[in-house]
Structure 1
């Protein structure tokens, strides 16, 4: 999933332009997205206060118990409270998504910014991106898990590896477009050096499409964590994650149909919120 650089401005961005772009998050679907994501983030951060029990606490005789006054979402196959495990599982997803995706974005962008100064490095980097993009993300996950084993760090590494070429190519497109803009040519004519042009003109214009892509990539990161944990390539039990809880819920759907509802609802809310934020940012960019 990617965003083209069509939103790149043909004039130098002003403070009012950036203010108008971010104001899209204060109303409409942008505000709804921010609220949805904030609710999930707060639930994960405040898990020790909100969770009624420890995530690994077992209750003998309460295996696959239906929701009641004590266990609002019921219990799992070994008698652990599903609500508590869901709240703590959110924390794993937030750590992975909000650290790995920005890391991939920064790494991919910096690599491309360095490569645009040297043609041979740019060519080598683009061919490396082709190689990474030739493999589906789940294939990369399986290959990396075979080498280093499953775990949170493996999920983070897969997300970084998957996002580096996406952000790298988006940055490259933006840089090449902005460097040919009239205001950049005018800056060169008056004697501005390349470093000043990069900081003053190129980077501010590149941030616009990269910000939209960042929100989209975070929503994809939620799915990557879920898919890897669902396949047993992610978080190692008994540590909870939303993906592993969904997997366990589907395995016990016959005995406890509501098991999967809690973690799946959280995933839907988080992904929906991130998508609404990306749509609001994109709409704000188009209104410039």
Structure 2
């Protein structure tokens, strides 16, 4: 059963969108992982050559302190990936748990849904601003902001899957045999609700990317000198007249990063919904 499910998911990577998405993501992931090898001098190496235009030596040019913008963009991508790698799975697990509380207790399920409704009332960036004001800007605040903003997304997906599976005959049969609620939830309902959660997880990564970028652009994300894609855009906007190409690199990488997960989400969605 597990092998059949895994093969079904892997079929997504044979579709044109899946191939493009995983290829782009693979290249970006390799750059992020091997950034210390590709740029051994790090992201904060300063030179006298400020605001150099793009060249073979500096494909994205240099910033106001003469630092190579390609190196800072790749290290910024590395930072973004580390945030997303922690925040999205955390949000998926907690959101799914809240969404499935209704399977254990009707009262707990109702309270969880009201909590998710409250969170849903705040746009991702606004919610992030509130969290950053409490925690202070930085990596941890971004992780919490993204994780909390994703709870309604995954919670509602999980609850919808629960309500759908609850009406199935195999669940009714398990109850008739005296199987307890927890066992039904873990063995029957949850495995059959994985598909929408997996597709939704890939889609939510795109939102997470822009939440990080939005908070960093307004100065509430990763703090200098450590780069992130959003913080590079924040600084680049200030120097747009001196160096119009300053934001070129971070913008391209941000678009490619979000495009890769959008394509993967579409490919997974097509695969799991294929008859």
Normalising by structure 2, report the TM-score.
0.94
* Contact preservation (8 Å) 2:120, 2:152: yes
Equivalent of residue 256 in structure 1, options 213, 225, 243 = 243
Aligned to 2:29: 41
Structure 1 residue 76 displacement after superposition? 0.4
In 1: Cα distance, 2:39 partner to 2:243 partner: 21
Structure 2 portions without partners, runs of 5+: none
Structure 1 residue 14 displacement after superposition? 7.8
Counterpart mapping for 1:8-87 below 5 A: 16=4, 19-51=7-39, 53-60=41-48, 62-87=49-74
Structure 1 residue 15 displacement after superposition? 5.3
Indicate how the Cα distance of structure 1 residues 18 and 180 shifts in structure 2: closer, same or farther if over 3 A, else same: farther
Give the secondary structure class of the aligned counterpart of 2:50.
coil
In the alignment of these two chains, the number of paired residues is 275
* Contact preservation (8 Å) 1:152, 1:235: yes
In 1: Cα distance, 2:233 partner to 2:40 partner: 20
Per-residue CA deviation, residues 1-35 of structure 1 (Å, 9 max, x unaligned), is xxxxxxxxxxxx88545523431223311111111
> Runs of 4+ in structure 1 displaced over 6 angstroms?
none
State yes or no: 1:237 paired with 2:224.
Answer: yes
In 2: Cα distance, 1:125 partner to 1:200 partner: 22
Equivalent of residue 174 in structure 1, options 149, 158, 161 = 161
Indicate how the Cα distance of structure 1 residues 200 and 22 shifts in structure 2: closer, same or farther if over 3 A, else same: farther
In 2: Cα distance, 1:182 partner to 1:252 partner: 63
Give the secondary structure class of the aligned counterpart of 2:117.
helix
In 2: Cα distance, 1:63 partner to 1:223 partner: 28
CA RMSD of aligned residues (A): 1.8
114-123 or 95-104: which moved more? Answer: 114-123
State yes or no: 1:271 paired with 2:258.
Answer: yes
Aligned to 1:7: none
In 1: Cα distance, 2:108 partner to 2:185 partner: 18
Structure 1 residue 126 displacement after superposition? 1.0
In 1: Cα distance, 2:195 partner to 2:10 partner: 10
State yes or no: 1:153 paired with 2:143.
Answer: no
Aligned to 1:185: 172
In 2: Cα distance, 1:123 partner to 1:190 partner: 27
In 2: Cα distance, 1:137 partner to 1:168 partner: 15
Equivalent of residue 204 in structure 1, options 171, 191, 194 = 191
Q: Which has the higher contact order (CA 8 A, sep 6+)?
A: 1
* Contact preservation (8 Å) 1:52, 1:84: no
In 2: Cα distance, 1:256 partner to 1:14 partner: 53
* Contact preservation (8 Å) 2:80, 2:229: yes
